[in-house]
Amino acid sequence: MAEIFKDIPKIVYEGSDRSNELSFKFYDENRMLMGKSMKEHLPFAMAWWHNLSATGADMFGVGTADKRFGCEQAATMEHAYSKVDAGFEFMSKLGIEFYCFHDADLVPEGRDISETNDRLDEISDYIKSKAEQTGIRCLWGTANLFTNPRFMNGAGSSNSADVYCFAAAQIKKALDLTIKLGGNGYVFWGGREGYETLLNTDMKFEIENIAELMQMSVEYARKQGFEGKFFIEPKPKEPMKHQYDFDAATAIGFLRQFNLDKDFMLNIEANHATLAGHTFQHDLRFAAMNGLLGSVDANQGDLLLGWDTDEFPFNVYETTMCMYELLQIGGLRPYGGLNFDAKNRRPSYTYEDMFHAFILGMDSFALGLINAVKLIEDGRIEKFIKDRYSSFYEGIGSKIRTKTTTLEQLSDHAISLGNPTLPDSGKQEYLESIVNSIMFGG
């Protein structure tokens, strides 16, 4: 098999003062921080769809990037094999250990499900042999239940029972593939699981059907010996106007309502959190404080644009706060990782750009990790937060926390205070300047 990225060497850490642009400036996989190597802290994954399939086509123009990787004709089985070769060469050159896929990313759809499934069996044999040679494995798999026109009204939320069965068939196969390829996670992103108007939609009915499909999927996977986690990936909108898994809080409510929270965790994507009007850190924290932060789609959006731009992470404040959350839950393994669900900008169309994108993303997360460790070791932020609630550690406050008081007693306490005092200052600007001094203070 011929080398595809011929002019690109193996990317290694050379530090920020070196002139070799095709090197990591901050990501040093062997550097130890808080008892673990950077590589262990940062289980990076490549998204098959953006990296190996997407050509930069948008609503106004065709693709700019040639992703045939040396084969003649796109969307053939020959192309499917080239993508595997390109993907494994790409990940090996970057030292990436994991990938994520949709069924539809791997092979062109056949005339019917059986033909598609045969193709998936064939290509997954090849992927498996590559995995055995390189040690690179699947992080999570999923089924594309949004591209085919039959899913115009959703999959689990479709009004058509037949379409619902097509979704089930794809999920069944994608679960088989995930298990075969050693994945420890399976994602449900509710691509078209939502609605445009209540004039044609029974929302309760649709949500119950989605839950039932998830329940059946869990039962099937457990029967096949899958011991990993299922993930819901929240997103508030796009493609639908209203999507049912709006954000972490909504998805957690749904999981609890249908008793799915033992088998499921959340896959939080930065760009989806900001589309929901939250910071990335907010949704990470919401999932984490409920014990349900399972995996991360590591990208960033553009706050000036109201859609899902899936950019490579560049904002080091965001990666710092992400790693701050992840360090506090002990990381994402053994189930999840940091999946670069991100694509090059349309004018960045060369092979070299693909590598620069990953160097940027991996370095941004390495910087985030370094900063987050410093924030934790510095301890001032954590201490400030703890002290801020000190009025609850004794007296009437402690009685509230231990549930040993009543509304009448609280009222009596307030009356006894006479003139109420103000709570202590929130000191936001002081705290922000601590973050800056830790990040840039050397």
The residue ranges that bind Ca ion (CB under 5 A) are: 269, 271, 297, 308, 310, 341
247 in contact with ligand XLS (CB under 6 A): no
Residue among 28, 103, 105, 283 flagged as catalytic: 105
Kindly tell me which of 89 and 269 has the beta carbon lying closer to ligand XLS: 269
Kindly tell me which of 297 and 325 has the beta carbon lying closer to Ca ion: 297
* Least distance between ligand XLS and beta carbon 97 (Å): 19
Question: Site for ligand XLS (CB under 6 A): which residue of 83, 180, 235, 285?
Answer: 235
* Least distance between ligand XLS and beta carbon 414 (Å): 48
CA atoms within 13 A on the CB side of 325: 26
Residue among 50, 102, 272, 282 flagged as catalytic: 102
Taking the C-alpha atoms of residue 182 and residue 139, their distance in angstroms, rounded to an integer, is 8
Taking the C-alpha atoms of residue 431 and residue 367, their distance in angstroms, rounded to an integer, is 20
Kindly tell me which of 140 and 254 has the beta carbon lying closer to ligand XLS: 140
Taking the C-alpha atoms of residue 120 and residue 114, their distance in angstroms, rounded to an integer, is 10
Kindly tell me which of 195 and 340 has the beta carbon lying closer to ligand XLS: 340
Answer whether 40's CB lies under 8 Å from 32's CB: no
CA 288 to chain centroid, in Å, comes to 14
187 binds, among ligand XLS, Ca ion, none (CB under 5 to 8 A by kind): ligand XLS
Query: Footprint of ligand XLS on residues 334-393 (CB under 6 A)?
Result: 341
* Least distance between ligand XLS and beta carbon 285 (Å): 20
* Least distance between Ca ion and beta carbon 91 (Å): 18
- Is 413 tagged catalytic? no
Site string for ligand XLS, 116-155 (x = CB under 6 A): --------------------------x-------------
Number of other CB atoms surrounding residue 387 within 10 Å: 10
231 in contact with ligand XLS (CB under 6 A): no
Instruction: Name residue 141's beta-bridge partners.
Output: 101, 186
Question: Site for ligand XLS (CB under 6 A): which residue of 24, 44, 101, 189?
Answer: 189
Kindly tell me which of 193 and 297 has the beta carbon lying closer to ligand XLS: 297
96 in contact with ligand XLS (CB under 6 A): no
Instruction: Name residue 142's beta-bridge partners.
Output: 102
Query: Footprint of ligand XLS on residues 391-420 (CB under 6 A)?
Result: none
* Least distance between ligand XLS and beta carbon 176 (Å): 18
Residue type present at position 313: P
269 in contact with ligand XLS (CB under 6 A): yes
233 in contact with ligand XLS (CB under 6 A): yes
Kindly tell me which of 13 and 44 has the beta carbon lying closer to ligand XLS: 44
101 in contact with ligand XLS (CB under 6 A): no
CA distances from 40 to 30, 299, 324, 416 (A): 9, 19, 15, 55
297 in contact with ligand XLS (CB under 6 A): yes
Taking the C-alpha atoms of residue 168 and residue 52, their distance in angstroms, rounded to an integer, is 26
* Least distance between ligand XLS and beta carbon 243 (Å): 10
Kindly tell me which of 26 and 358 has the beta carbon lying closer to ligand XLS: 358
- Is 263 tagged catalytic? no
- 85: Cβ contacts below 8 Å, ≥ 6 apart: 1, 4, 69
Which active-site residues does the annotation give?
A: 102, 105
List residues near ligand XLS by CB under 6 A: 102, 142, 187, 189, 233, 235, 269, 297, 308, 341
